[in-house]
Amino acid sequence: MATAGASLIPLADYETFSKHLKKSHRVLALLGAGLSASSGLPTFRGAGGLWRNNEATMLATPEAFEADPVMVWQFYNYRRHMALQAQPNRAHLALAALAKKNPNFITLSQNVDGLSPRAGHPASQLHLLHGSLYDARCTAFYCDYTETDNFNDPIVPALAIPKGGPQPEPSSTDRTGTEAASSLYSALHFQRNNHGELDISNENVPLPYINKEDLPHCPKCKNGLLRPGVVWFGEMLPKDTLAAVDEFIESADKIDLVLVIGTSARVYPAASYVDMAKQKGARIAVINTDRADIPKVQKGMTKRDWFFEGDAGTIVPELLKSVIGEV
């Protein structure tokens, strides 16, 4: 067995993958939320798909923003804050190193957290399918204002993560100790992080009142609300991004390798890219924590392909080490 941290990579798989990677010229990586989970970020998928007892996917729609822009901005400001507190993990660093060594390696990321750019991944080789938490655009119909790489935290003062919480207080009326015990229990169990900030993802933590006028507004037209610069459910994916990946695959006589990391790649367009690459001879390497979470490609995974089960932040650097060295 070849050891990758706490995970064991079967030696035969490790050797065949390393041998193929060394001779691979044209390589595509598809990244999903499982990669960022290795940096401690919530995936908002499956069992972790709730935010304050709301389906996270239900907050990621134009309709949700129109109905309650305050709630949606609180959700996205929380995500921005969490992502800025997180650090790129070793898989982010390893992929960035591979991109710098191989100009014919491109990455399509479904993640919006900015960890790949912060790892030094060359922008020309990194395509963001769902936008970025640090971009915003005006919602006014006649305004075309957009901004990128706004790393202010919070994006406006009103959205600052609240600190503090209830303090244990003696009761002035109850002599049984019941109220005092309840007050102490509430204070001890009020969820805070290491910075004293309240965990507003917990529905039991009250959200501060925010006036709609205190949300991010457009500096150009002065009237329109800014919205997060991410692709919401029901919206078109960025044409330039899709065109770049299409061209990368279609212009090549052969694709050597597809890395599927932290995603099942079962939905459009990731699933179609796996199929397109396999038709051009690509071998597929999946790195995921769930063995059942593999791409559903037309010809299926074969003995030529690999599945590496475990934490991407641990496994990916080990798999790429033969080309990039230690990270």
What's the burial of 123, exposed, middle or buried (CB within 10 Å: 0-12/13-18/19+)? exposed
Active site positions, annotated:
130
Rounded distance, CA 127 to CA 105, Å? 11
pLDDT for res 98 = 98
Question: Residue 143 to residues 69, 73, 214, 286: CA-CA distances in angstroms?
Answer: 18, 20, 20, 42
CB neighbour burial string for 256-266, b if at least 16 within 10 angstroms, e if fewer: bbbbbbbbbbe
Tally of CA atoms within 13 A in the half-sphere of 23 that contains its CB: 8
pLDDT for res 48 = 56
Nearest CA-CA partner of 240 in 113, 147, 129:
129
Is pLDDT at 7 greater than 60 in this prediction? no
Is pLDDT at 307 greater than 60 in this prediction? yes
Rounded distance, CA 119 to CA 207, Å? 33
Radius of gyration in angstroms for the set of CA atoms belonging to the chain, rounded to a whole number: 23
Ranked by mean pLDDT, which of 2-6, 176-180, 199-203, 315-319 comes out on top? 315-319
Rounded distance, CA 255 to CA 28, Å? 8
Rounded distance, CA 285 to CA 256, Å? 11
Cα dihedral sign, 220-110-154-152: negative
User: Whole-angstrom distance between the N-terminal and C-terminal Cα of the chain?
Assistant: 21
pLDDT for res 198 = 81
Mean pLDDT, the chain, whole residue set: 85
Residue 143: phi and psi, rounded to 5, are: -105, 135
Nearest CA-CA partner of 246 in 202, 203, 209, 277:
277
Helix (H), strand (E), coil (C) string for the chain: CEEECCEEECHHHHHHHHHHHHHCCCEEEEECHHHHHCCCCCCCCHHHCEECCEEHHHHCCHHHHHHCHHHHHHHHHHHHHHHHHCCCCHHHHHHHHHHHHCCCEEEEECCCCCHHHHCCCCHHHEEECCEEEEEEEECCCCCCCEECCCCCCCCCHHHCCCECCCCCCCCCCCCCCHHHHHHHHHHHCCCECCCCEECCCCCCCCCCCCCHHHCCECCCCCCCEEEEEECCCCCCCCHHHHHHHHHHHHCCCCCCEEEEECCCCCCCCHHHHHHHHHHCCCEEEEEECCCCCCCCCCCCCCCCCEEEECCHHHHHHHHHHHHHCCC
Dump pLDDT digits (tens) for 47-97. 556 778 888 888 999 999 999 999 999 999 999 999 999 999 999 999 999
Dump pLDDT digits (tens) for 161-212. 887 654 444 434 544 344 434 443 344 445 555 567 788 888 888 888 999 9
Instruction: Tell me the pTM.
Output: 0.86
